[in-house]
Amino acid sequence: MEAEHSTLRRYYELVAQLQHHYGQTLLVGTILEASFENTGWHLVESTRRILEKPADQMAEIHLANLRTWRHDEYASRFFDSSEIDSMEAAMDRMARGIESGGVVVNVARQIIAQRL
């Protein structure tokens, strides 16, 4: 995910770090095609889709996640709480339309697979 607003860019960096800690990946589309090997499924089509959303809508969604980080053991230990406070305030302003955040671009992978 790419964003014009620095707060959203930083949020995506921290999400990636948090997901990595839990054995997940933010950029799952980059590994989807290879995940069909030896599964009994055949990859029929793989298409890269570019989705754009207004930052105010994305900030509203991300606020809920950001607010849970205070209760997450890893995030509370490794993320700066004052930075999280600042990010929360900026996202809240975006979500309420007080601050412009531009556009968030999400490149998604659309997969069609068929069982062999």
Average pLDDT, the chain: 91
What pLDDT score does 90 carry? 96
Q: What is the pLDDT of residue 18?
A: 95
On the question of pLDDT at 27 being above 80, the answer is: no
Residue 30: pLDDT over 80: no
Burial of 37 from C-beta contacts in 10 A (0-12 / 13-18 / 19+): exposed
Higher model confidence: residue 79 or residue 25? 79
Per the structure, the complete domain to which residue 42 belongs is given by 2-115
The confidence score (pLDDT) of residue 35 equals 84
pLDDT tens digits, residue range 71-108? 999 999 999 999 999 999 999 999 999 999 999 999 88
C-beta of residue 26 within 8 angstroms of C-beta of residue 1: yes
* Inter-residue contact 107 to 48 (CB < 8 Å): yes
pTM of the model: 0.83
Q: How many domains does the chain have?
A: 1
* DSSP code for 26: S
Confidence of residue 31 (pLDDT cuts 50, 70, 90): confident
Residue that is written with structure tokens 């207004």 in the block: 54
- Specify the pLDDT at position 25: 82
